[in-house]
Amino acid sequence: MSAAKPAPNGWIVLDKPRGLGSTQAVGMVKRVLRQGGHAKPKVGHGGTLDPLAEGVLPIALGEATKLAGRMLDASKIYDFTIQFGEETDTLDTEGEVIQRSDRRPPMAAIAAVLEHFTGEIEQIPPKYSALKIDGKRAYDLARAGEEVDMKTRRVTIHSLTMAGEREDPELKSAFQTSAGRPDPYDVAAPLELADAVTLTAHVSKGTYIRSLARDIARALGTVGHVTYLRRVKAGPFHENQAISLDKLEEIAKGAPLEHLLLPLEAGLDDIPALSLDPDSAQAVRQGRVLSDLPHTDGLYFAKLEDTPVALVELIGGTAKVVRGFNLPDVAE
C-alpha cells in the first residue's frame, strides 16, 4: 500500500453552485482529498454561503485554517437581483409571499436611491437567518412559528451600483450592462419601469443582502425579494480564481492538487510582507519578540524567503506573533 500524499496547506476557492450548503462543500473537499490519496488535513471555510447563493467560497486546508477567521471578517462583493412586486417571509425565492404590490419603480429612481444605502447603515437581519436568539438559531424559531424579534445592527456598504458599473475594473470587465439601455439620469430618456434589477454591493461582514434588497424595494415604494445572489469576491479571493465542482472532482481521480491549490499566503495579499533571516525566523517560531525593527506599525506577514512563518503585529519597532504557521522551509 502506497504512502499517503502529504496533507496540503493552502486554499481551494470553490465556485459553489446554487443548492449546495457550505458545510456540504467542505465535506466534498475532504472526500476528494481522501480519494486522491492525500493525508487528512484540517479543513474549514472562510464565510458561509446560503444554499440558494452561489459563487466564491474559500476553503482553507491545513495551516490556512488559522486564517479562516480573517476571511469571516473580510469584506465581500455580491451581485444580486431584486424582483419587485412580492416580498416573502424569507426575503428570497424559498419563502411564502407575505406582501404584494403592483408598483414598479423607474430605473431612474433605483439609481437615485442607491446612494442612500451607501456608507454606514442600520439594517434588520432576516428572521430566517443563522443568528442566535437566546441560544437558538433565528431560522429554527421562525420555522417553528415563533415570533422572532430581530435587533437592528449597523453595517457598512462600501459601494452599491447597478451591475456593470462595478468599482473593481477586474469585476467590471466580467459583467457588462445590456446594450441600448437608456441612461437613468438622462431627463430626455423614456421612462423605464423595472420588474427587477441586478445590483452589485461591496459590503462589510455581517451584512445581509436579503435585508438590503427588502429595504431598497420598500424605499422605492414597493416590495421585493432576492431571486439571484452570487458572491464574486470574498476578502482577497476573486471569482476568476474559483474552480467548479467538476474541477474539484478531478482531485479524486488523481489530478495534481497543486494545479488547483492556492498557497496559504494568497489569503494575506492585503498584508505587507516582513522578510526574516534564519535567526529571526527561528525566534518568531519560538514565539519570541523581535525588537528594533524600522517598519511602521501594523500587521505583517513574516516569511523566511518563500516560506510563511507567522502573522506579526508590529508596534513601536517591536513585533509580536499573532498567529504562527507550522510549515517546512521551501528549501527542505
Residue located via cell numbers 522578510: 275
The larger pLDDT score, comparing residue 257 to residue 118, is at: 118
Residue 27, classed as helix, strand or coil, is helix
Pairing of strands 224-234, 237-238: antiparallel
Q: 100 exposed, middle or buried (CB, 10 Å; 0-12, 13-18, 19+)?
A: exposed
The mean pLDDT of 113-138, rounded to a whole number, is 83
The mean pLDDT of 162-186, rounded to a whole number, is 52
Pairwise CA distance, residues 61 & 7, whole Å: 8
Query: What pTM value is reported for the model?
Result: 0.86
The mean pLDDT of 279-298, rounded to a whole number, is 89
Taking each helix axis from N to C terminus, what angle separates 22-35 and 245-252, rounded to the nearest 10 degrees? Answer: 30
Q: Please report the pLDDT score of residue 80 as a whole number.
A: 97
Q: Which of 15, 50, 79, 92 is catalytic?
A: 50
Q: Please report the pLDDT score of residue 70 as a whole number.
A: 82
Q: Please report the pLDDT score of residue 165 as a whole number.
A: 64
Tens of pLDDT, residue by residue over 23-69, are 899 999 999 999 988 888 889 888 788 888 999 999 999 999 998 88
Pairwise CA distance, residues 78 & 232, whole Å: 6
Q: Residue 290: what residue type?
A: L
| 176 pLDDT more than 60 | no
| 319 pLDDT more than 70 | yes
Catalytic residue check, 92? no
Pairwise CA distance, residues 49 & 51, whole Å: 6
The grid cell for 228 is 439571484
Handedness of CA 290, 307, 9, 242 (dihedral sign): positive
Q: Please report the pLDDT score of residue 171 as a whole number.
A: 46
Tens of pLDDT, residue by residue over 69-83, are 888 888 999 999 999
Tens of pLDDT, residue by residue over 186-213, are 666 667 899 999 999 999 998 999 999 9
Residue located via cell numbers 482531485: 251
Q: Please report the pLDDT score of residue 39 as a whole number.
A: 85
**Mean of the per-residue pLDDT values of the chain:** 86
